[in-house]
Amino acid sequence: QVQLVESGGGLVQPGGSLRLSCAASGFTFSSYAMMWYRHAPGKERELVATITSSGSTYYVDSAKGRFTISRDNAKKTVYLQMNGLKPDDTAVYYCNTHFYNLTPSRRIWGQGTQVTVSS
């Protein structure tokens, strides 16, 4: 069964940095794109970053120039390096996989990791 375990969140001041990690299992990690989403209260869940199986990356406009997504296929882990954090980045961050695009109704989510940007 698929498992996604996010970690690395916390409380940080505006302008600070965090590195999020997501350990994945239960599917062929190296074959699928990985993604980071975030969900803030009162807002829709938002796709923040994607990294394809070949290493191409994509970002939501608000994250460009500040966030970097990367992956380590040997460790089956995807990372999100977040620099220059802003209060609007406050949200629960979740990873997910393109694997579920094959069966969208079966998509599962991990526990997420809370990122709070506040002075």
Q: How does pLDDT run across 86-107, given as a tens digit for each residue?
A: 999 999 999 999 998 888 889 9
C-alpha to C-alpha distance for 11 and 61, rounded to whole angstroms: 23
State residue 55's pLDDT score: 97
What's the pLDDT band for 113 if we cut at 50, 70, 90? very high
* 3-state helix/strand/coil string of 27-69: CCHHHCCEEEEEECCCCCCEEEEEECCCCCEEECHHHCCCEEE
Q: Which residues pair with 116 in a beta bridge?
A: 11
Q: Are 32 and 99 in contact (CB under 8 A)?
A: yes
